Homo-oligomer: A and B are copies of this chain.
Amino acid sequence: MEERIEKIKQQLQSQAYKLTHQREATVRVLLENEEDHLSAEDVFMLVKDKAPEIGLATVYRTLELLSELHVVEKINFGDGVARYDLRNDSTHHHHHHLICVQCGAMDEIMEDWLGPLEERVEEQFNFTVVDHRLDFQGICFRCNGKTNNPI
């Protein structure tokens, strides 16, 4: 935990970015809520516990910066809000999403199934993959359990 913060700090400093209280607090919130997909507003509310003076604009600016540094990934589920995921750089590419169209739940597949497809993209299209994203929409196991659902 502390070592991950240290690493991100160094990443910032190596690019001559300053390490402000607000930035550190934001990074800590992201680390503490790694499994979630926080919106800027979510992050804002959580950061306020650690740095009550912070403004929403700063949160946006920090998330944008972390995104440029590839510390977080900005993702979008189509609900009109950007969400920010910490990049797990040990695996680099991480998980996929199962989004339930019935109850709105979002589960994750914590594996990367796309290795073979990435190779195929590189060969077939001469496209150098940097990142990917895979979401499935459908009916989750909970809703499937409740009733037979003829979409």
Binding site for B on A (CB under 8 A): 74-78, 80, 82, 98, 101, 107, 109, 113-114, 117-118, 120-121, 125-141, 144-145, 149, 151
B117 engages A140 (CB within 8 Å): no
Closest chain B CB from A137 CB (angstroms): 4
- Asked if B133 and A133 sit within 8 Å, CB to CB, the answer is yes
If A82-B78, A113-B117, A120-B113 touch, whether A129 touches B138 (CB-CB below 8 Å) is: yes
Jot down 9 A-B pairs with beta carbons below 8 A, ordered by A: A76-B76, A107-B125, A126-B144, A127-B139, A128-B151, A129-B136, A131-B138, A133-B133, A133-B135
B135 to A121, Cβ gap below 8 A? Answer: no
16 further interface pairs, Cβ-Cβ under 8 Å (given A130-B151, A133-B133):
A76-B77, A76-B78, A98-B121, A109-B125, A118-B136, A126-B140, A126-B145, A127-B138, A127-B139, A128-B138, A128-B139, A128-B151, A131-B138, A132-B136, A132-B137, A133-B135
Find the B residue at minimum CB distance from A116: B113
Q: Are B137 and A129 in contact (CB under 8 A)?
A: yes
Complex copy number for this chain: 2
Within the complex, what minimum Cβ distance (angstroms) separates A75 from chain B?
Answer: 7
Output the least CB separation between A122 and chain B (Å). Answer: 8
Chain B's closest residue to A128 (CB) is B139
Instruction: Considering the complex, give the chain B residue whose CB is closest to the CB of A131.
Output: B137
Residues in B with CB closer than 8 Å to A125 are 98, 107, 109, 140-141
